């Protein structure tokens, strides 16, 4: 199996000012083609250190992908490293990238600065893959067996996440030309509403009975629940029926705790069900403050089934926009089943959707009390025929509580819709 | 200067299924205390590989922090590595962690399972730092100079981001007891509305005139703009007046492109201004679909100045809830200055806030046309006295466009409020 390593470059990563998202995106793309990532490293904007790390990784794996350090500013030093690694003797302008640079700047009504044009200048012993989304091109350096004991290619990608991701299709096609790739198969089964340890106990004997060449991983995520990822790291043409058989066994154990069998998120699954049945949904959010709306609208095509949200952060918006009776708030409080029921019914009424979901809770850090602690959320769901309320308790910080509130509300909505449709 | 390395563990990281956020959080904490992170590595759930990486990092740096691989499931193998590294001779239960485990499960109404209790069992030659937020404790292994040529401590933290972050204060106080720390100073100046390359040219001579021991980094982020981070990696008691002087020079060049001098985000700065002047704001979002609301409400205390949002994803919500005249939408379209002006005025009217900001645009991938391409957004801002509209064009994918739309709207709101207040 072909192996790869990823090295992301930037002082801003090492001091923790930004989170490296390139590594996971690149690893995901490599993995889809059966390339196993054996290591990810992040180093600072230090030429010697980048050089040393690149050499280490080239000794370990056939493919090395660097990102970052290609910007027009003075702290970006990767190009010099590519020059040394490739044994270049000078710099040359890449005409395709120069054209892209002019085009990008012109489309934004800008003149190209000397620092922009310099981005098209590359060491003469590397291959260029043009970057259509930004000014810095991808550079590829190829090594024969003599150098590291195996054939190897190093790719240097821009650090801007959007550009790095955008470059990957071209990088993958270059990789496919250079290496003969074996196969890897993944199946990702998504669950919601059960903790990792309880899930592990519940499916323990199923797990023990898995074929030997299967690997199972538990991947908890606050917005997605626990994903179960089944992998076979070998060429296996008959893997698909095995995946189906194992998934069927798992469904018998877990029922509708499983919400997708292909890695789809809660918001994607809900969108799919709504489209399939020609239904629509709206939301009324208090404590989640737009997070549910943001998750639903992150799906392309969501305007077909999602009409909108009233983020009723203040009680006056709950009353004046959603029509929650003042008495409900004064008698039961905003964080109550009565209030979320009225919120869900209210937003469904003003938007005219088939379903509506509403949240009210206490995200923290302040605002909790004995009866209504930080981490408590009430979720209300309404259809034409009925309204349901359900509560959840979490024990996290503000941001994480908001995420769990939103995901739990979406999962409750999913279960409600499934019930309603199967009625 | 004391150096540190971070190693995050998990197959799910290497295959790109999750993004490692622990490294940046931990690096941020270490950096605040003047510890320089020299390398970050991610490896899979493979005991030998974790062992080898830990030894490499211990040879390079005094402090090594591992996260992950401590879960109750079968793919978690870090504890065995700690056993080997520490030369332990057996496992012992840590009574403090056992008590925490019982408490956590009881508070959630659960019995503790054998797999939960096993989390409190640790190799006998490591020190335990209890983890109050989860079941797996922090383990510390101490090495004298003989082993790696310098004194070293390795900490093994849980992989759950919330728990890893929560463990850092105790880990830092343990580090402070073990090492005498030098100082590091950062000042982060936030800018919005100027591209990295243009910014670099504009402040080039200022940058050249910086004192020699200062380091400047450019950190672009779609939600935050370009941060300029000034660092001095030395003990320097007189650094504060130099920071102030350099910031003042920069302000003369950049004016209100600078929105904070302490790393605060746009939403935090807006909250600060609103609180200071006793003003309130509401939002009406079409294309940003709740992203602005979500950003504003991520700030603790936002309920004091933020009343809510109408996420008017459908035109009927724009008309029926926000009161946008039907004629405006039919004549100019939903993505128009006329529509966002009416949306902002509408939401300000129904919420009764001092300010309101509205967005309508085309996030993509579909829905664009020649006159209104994907990436176009109109932003409307209203106060009692006036309404302004402004448009932006971006060239990204859906998620990134939504982020840029939201951040641009917040920045436009900030400039509007500053104008209004200084009037």
Q: Which residues of B touch A366 (CB under 8 A)?
A: 300-301
> CA-CA distance, A219 to B179, in Å (whole number)?
36
B311 vs A423, residue with greater confidence: B311
At residue A282, does pLDDT exceed 60? yes
Mutate to test the interface with A, among B1, B297, B357 (most CBs of A within 10 A): B297
CA distance B86 to chain A (A): 24
DSSP strands (E only) in A206-344: 214-221, 225-232, 258-260, 281-285, 306-312
> CA-CA distance, A51 to B375, in Å (whole number)?
38
Nearest Cα neighbor of A211 from A233, A195, A226 is: A233
Cβ distance of B308 and A314 shorter than 8 Å: yes
Cβ distance of A321 and B308 shorter than 8 Å: yes
Protein fold of B185-260: Alpha-Beta Plaits (3.30.70)
Mean pLDDT of A328-345: 96
* Cβ-contact A411, A295 below 8 angstroms: no
For residue A229, the SS3 value is strand
CA distance A341 to chain B (A): 19
The strand pair at A63-67 and A152-157 is best described as: parallel
Q: Which residues of A touch B264 (CB under 8 A)?
A: none
B395 and chain A in contact, CB less than 8 A: yes
Q: At B280, list the tokens.
A: 């309130």
Candidate from B201, B229, B294 with C-beta closest to A113: B201
The strand pair at B376-382 and B387-393 is best described as: antiparallel
Cβ under 8 Å to B: A residues 215-234: 215-221, 227, 229, 231
DSSP strands (E only) in B196-248: 214-221, 225-232
Report pLDDT for A90: 95
pLDDT digits (tens, 9 = 90+) for A227-252: 898 888 665 567 888 888 999 999 99
The interface predicted TM-score (ipTM) is: 0.76
Domains of chain B: which residue ranges?
3-178, 185-260, 266-422
Nearest Cα neighbor of A123 from A68, A166, A84 is: A84
Report pLDDT for B370: 82
Report pLDDT for B191: 96
Mean pLDDT of B86-92: 95
Nearest Cα neighbor of A260 from A378, A382, A36, A410 is: A410
Cβ under 8 Å to A: B residues 4-43: 11-21, 23-31, 36-43
pLDDT digits (tens, 9 = 90+) for B102-125: 888 887 777 777 778 888 999 999
C-alpha distances out from residue A152 to A58, A70, A175, A233, B383, Å = 7, 22, 10, 21, 61
Cβ distance of A37 and B25 shorter than 8 Å: no
Query: Scanning every residue of chain A, which has its alpha carbon at the shortest distance from the alpha carbon of B301?
Result: A366
Peptide bond into B365 cis (omega under 30): yes
Percentage of chain B exceeding pLDDT 90: 71
> CA-CA distance, A356 to A67, in Å (whole number)?
43
Mutate to test the interface with A, among B114, B191, B217, B370 (most CBs of A within 10 A): B217
Report pLDDT for A73: 65
CATH of B266-422 given 3.90.950.20, 2.30.30.90, 3.40.50.300, 3.30.70.1140: 3.90.950.20
Peptide bond into A335 cis (omega under 30): no
> CA-CA distance, B344 to B329, in Å (whole number)?
14
Report pLDDT for B113: 76
Report pLDDT for B239: 80
Cβ distance of B311 and A283 shorter than 8 Å: yes
Cβ distance of A16 and B30 shorter than 8 Å: yes
Cβ under 8 Å to B: A residues 238-277: none
Q: At B349, list the tokens.
A: 């009217």
> CA-CA distance, B272 to B278, in Å (whole number)?
10
Report pLDDT for B233: 67
**Mean pLDDT estimate for chain A:** 91
At residue B51, does pLDDT exceed 90? yes
Cβ distance of B16 and A38 shorter than 8 Å: no
CA dihedral B138, B143, B144, B147 (to 10 degrees): -170
Mean pLDDT of A265-288: 96
Nearest Cα neighbor of B362 from B332, B398, B337, B331 is: B398
Query: Scanning every residue of chain A, which has its alpha carbon at the shortest distance from the alpha carbon of B402?
Result: A298
What is the domain class of A3-178 according to CATH?
A: alpha beta
Cβ under 8 Å to A: B residues 147-206: 160, 162, 186, 188, 196-198, 200-201
pTM of the full predicted structure?
0.79
Report pLDDT for A219: 79
Q: Which residues of A touch B285 (CB under 8 A)?
A: 290, 293
Q: Give the contacts of A153 (CB within 8 A, at least 6 positions apart).
A: A62, A63, A64, A140, A141, A142, A143, A174, A175, A178
CA distance A387 to chain B (A): 22
**Mean pLDDT estimate for chain B:** 91
At residue A75, does pLDDT exceed 70? no
C-alpha distances out from residue A153 to A60, A78, A173, B285, Å = 12, 16, 13, 46
Mutate to test the interface with B, among A49, A61, A291, A311 (most CBs of B within 10 A): A311
Cβ distance of B300 and A366 shorter than 8 Å: yes
> CA-CA distance, B67 to B53, in Å (whole number)?
13
B343 vs A423, residue with greater confidence: B343
């Amino acid at each position: 199996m072909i192996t790869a390593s990823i090295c992301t470059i930037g002082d801003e990563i090492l001091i923790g000012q930004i989170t490296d998202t390139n590594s996971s995106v690149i690893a995901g793309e490599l993995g889809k083609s059966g390339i196993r990532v054996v290591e990810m490293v992040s180093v600072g904007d230090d030429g010697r250190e980048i050089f040393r790390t690149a050499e280490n990784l080239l000794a370990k794996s056939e493919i090395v992908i660097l990102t970052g350090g290609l910007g027009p500013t003075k702290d970006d030093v990767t190009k010099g490293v590519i020059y040394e690694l490739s044994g270049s003797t000078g710099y040359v302008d890449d005409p395709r990238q120069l054209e892209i640079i002019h085009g990008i700047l012109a489309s934004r009504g800008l003149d190209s600065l000397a620092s922009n044009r310099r981005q098209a200048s590359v060491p003469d012993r590397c291959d260029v893959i043009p970057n259509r989304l930004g000014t810095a091109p991808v550079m590829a350096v190829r090594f024969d067996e003599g150098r590291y004991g195996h054939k190897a290619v190093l790719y240097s990608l821009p650090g801007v996440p959007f550009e790095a991701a955008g470059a990957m299709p071209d990088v993958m096609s270059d990789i496919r030309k250079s290496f003969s790739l074996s196969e890897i198969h993944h199946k990702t089964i998504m669950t919601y509403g059960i903790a990792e340890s309880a899930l592990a106990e519940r499916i323990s004997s199923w797990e023990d009975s898995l074929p030997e060449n299967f690997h199972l991983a538990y991947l908890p995520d606050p917005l997605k629940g626990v994903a179960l990822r089944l992998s076979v790291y070998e060429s296996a043409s008959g893997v698909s029926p095995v995946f189906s058989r194992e998934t069927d066994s798992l469904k018998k154990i877990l029922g509708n705790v499983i919400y997708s069998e292909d890695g789809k998120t809660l918001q994607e699954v809900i969108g799919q069900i709504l489209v399939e049945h020609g239904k629509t949904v709206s939301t009324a959010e208090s404590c989640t403050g737009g997070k549910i709306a943001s998750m639903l609208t992150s799906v392309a095509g969501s305007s077909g089934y999602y009409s909108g949200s009233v983020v009723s952060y203040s009680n006056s918006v709950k009353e004046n926009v959603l029509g929650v009776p003042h008495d409900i708030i004064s008698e039961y409080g905003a964080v109550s089943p009565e209030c979320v029921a009225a919120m869900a019914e209210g937003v469904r009424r003003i938007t005219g959707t088939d379903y509506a979901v509403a949240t009210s809770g206490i995200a923290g850090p302040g605002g909790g009390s004995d009866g209504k602690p930080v981490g408590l959320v009430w979720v209300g769901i309404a259809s034409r025929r009925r309204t349901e309320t359900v509560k959840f308790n979490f024990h996290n910080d503000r941001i994480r509580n908001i995420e769990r509130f939103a995901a739990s509300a979406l999962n409750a909505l999913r279960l409600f819709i499934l019930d309603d449709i199967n009625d």
